[in-house]
Copies of this chain bind each other. A is one copy, B any other.
């Protein structure tokens, strides 16, 4: 009898990528209140804009959107079978922008363009850069970002492609941040939002220990990762990783962002992703804590809306504010170093 391993997806290898290629990612996804409820069950998420229709309406939106990071994870998840199934490492993010809120009823799909390739000197792996766009059912781009991954070669003897390394902005410029149509923070209710600190209360360089922690369980990170239809085997199958299932880096991002409510309750909407590093792997049993640093601030054209650039650091219960050792490398307890823009009432 025929046995068709060839019908399953083995994923792309380094030599399968060429600059200019468009990857149409499969399995569009319609979101509902179900995804929102699960996001609240999986993360201690409390930002009021994503919790309450009435709060969102008081900010000029039609209703409460799906969490920005949930939209990110959904788009990211679709790219996994085409971009990172054979990835050795998820190296970085840049030029991420959220362009339109995602609402219950929206259907998301994803498309990526290959914008860079560079074979590593060992000849066994290479780096691939893709610019991914998430689209809604009307074809509008709801978010976009660049990420780069190290991918294995199928055949170490395959010739190296011409190196193309894209020039990427160190950070999204404030005037490139997209504010949702109609959004304003003129009638912002600080009591309902949970904290009184506004844009003017944060100083560049200020650091905030978010205090709370969550000890992660296997069932939770697997449910989260499946919810985003991210199928990378390392997150689910203990038989291929007897040393422990590797937790999806995005789970740590969402956990840290939710924990950052305590001190940053008014950093409501994520609109830019400047950079991000998954510094060390995270496993079930780790207690995730978080701290933030204010990197920059900017005004926007929307009424009452300021932008704040934040470093969000997740740690394995380690001391806050320690990031790198004397050698410049991330300390072992650091899980995540993320650089993003959020919108905050002035």
Contacts and interface: CB of A to CB of B under 8 A. Distances in A.
Interface string A111-123: 0000000000000
Interface residues of A, number: 88
B227 A40 contact: yes
Contacts of A265: 26
A222 interface: yes
A92 interface: no
Nearest to A237: B213
Interface string A182-196: 000000000111110
Given A28-B192, A104-B32, A231-B212, A137 B53 contact: yes
Interface stretch (A147-155, A171-179, A199-207): A199-207
Contacts of A7: 195, 197, 201, 208, 263-264
B81 A203 contact: no
Contacts of A51: 27-30, 229
B233 A213 contact: yes
Contacts of A217: 217-219, 222
Interface string A280-298: 0000000100000100000
A226 interface: yes
Contacts of A264: 7
Contact of A8 (B4, B192, B209): B209
Given A36-B34, A42-B226, A55-B28, A213 B240 contact: yes
Nearest to A46: B27
A309 to B, nearest CB: 15
Contacts of A34: 32-38
Contact of A9 (B9, B41, B214, B262): B262
B220 A263 contact: no
How often does this chain occur in the complex, in copies? 3
Nearest to A238: B215
Contacts of A137: 53-54
Contacts of A205: 1-2
A9 to B, nearest CB: 6
Contacts of A203: 2
A259 to B, nearest CB: 9
A195 B107 contact: no
A155 B34 CA distance: 45
A41 B287 contact: no
Contact of A237 (B36, B109, B212, B220): B212
Given A28-B51, A207-B3, A226-B42, A215 B237 contact: yes
Given A3-B321, A35-B37, A238 B26 contact: no
A16 B248 CA distance: 42
Given A46-B229, A223-B41, A52 B26 contact: no
A54 B107 contact: yes
Contact of A27 (B53, B194, B220): B194
16 contacts: A3-B206, A9-B262, A28-B55, A30-B52, A31-B37, A32-B32, A32-B104, A34-B35, A44-B229, A46-B229, A46-B231, A53-B107, A214-B222, A215-B218, A220-B223, A239-B317
Identify the 3 closest CB pairs spanning chains A and B, nearest first. Answer: A32-B33, A34-B37, A26-B194
